[in-house]
Structure 1
Amino acid sequence: MTQTIPESSNTPFALVGVARPKPEREAELRELLLSFVAPTRAEEGSLEYHFHEDNAEPGSFVFYEVWRSKEDLDRHLELPHMRDFWERRMEYLERDLDIKFLTMHSAYPRPVDA
């Protein structure tokens, strides 16, 4: 990933990313990325975290994240399993992650009991 994470704002911090695995590592990467879902959703500041596979391009994985703040995302990226993935990501990928940072214009409050 060559894009710099933008500075924080007063709105939730969102991003969408695409991971295109090497064909021989597709199943392994799918399982690894799936293993991140539950722990990430449980993190403080994680408002949304979803993992998808592109219907038009099977084996192309898409993730969508919404964080309360950039600082919450920064904390997430410093966790040991995330640092390990970041350092080893090119072992799995045909090309680097394609990540787009989003400005949310339609923020909504998260339900208290969610």
Structure 2
Amino acid sequence: MIGVYATCQVKQGFEAKFENLVKQFISESRTHAGCQSYDCGVVSGKERHYCFIERWTSQEDLDAHLNSLFFQQNAPKLEEILENGLDINIVNLI
């Protein structure tokens, strides 16, 4: 099982745009093979900070998700409204 947590800070004034786009990521990603869970939320006590929390059956499933047409087309839209991009962490769950 593979876990992913990715953190980011959204540029001031882009919170609604970010959340609308993230809702599409959540809906789409949950349909991808091997997706056990896919969520995103606001980090408590940190202004404009968000965290993605994901669980994938295998690294191959995560790789397929990252290479999907949806991800390739929409990830740049997320990146452009972030302060410093995504800090992505992949965890091999015990």
Quickly name the TM-score band, shorter chain normalised: 0.7 to 0.9
For the Cα contact (< 8 Å) 2:26–2:38, is it kept in 1? yes
* 1:41-64, Cα deviation, whole Å (9 max, x unpaired): 122100111111112114211111
Higher strand fraction (1 or 2): 2
AA partner of residue 19 (structure 2): R
CA RMSD of aligned residues (A): 1.4
**C-alpha deviations, 1:19-47, integer Å up to 9, x for none?**
21111222101110122112211221001
1:83 matched residue in structure 2: 72
Larger Rg: 1
- Kindly report structure 1 stretches of 4+ aligned residues shifted beyond 4 Å: none
* Equivalenced residues, count: 94
Provide the residue aligned with 2:84 in structure 1.
95
- In the alignment, what sits opposite 1:43? 32
Does the alignment pair 1:65 with 2:54? yes
What TM-score comes out, normalization by structure 2 length?
0.88
Q: How far off is 1:97 after superposition?
A: 0.4
| Structure-1-length-normalised TM-score | 0.74
1:14 aligns with 2:21: no
Structure 1: any 5+ residue segments left out of the alignment?
A: 1-11, 106-114
Give secondary structure in 2 for the equivalent of 1:42. coil
**Whole-angstrom CA distance in 2 between matches of 1:19 and 1:85:** 16
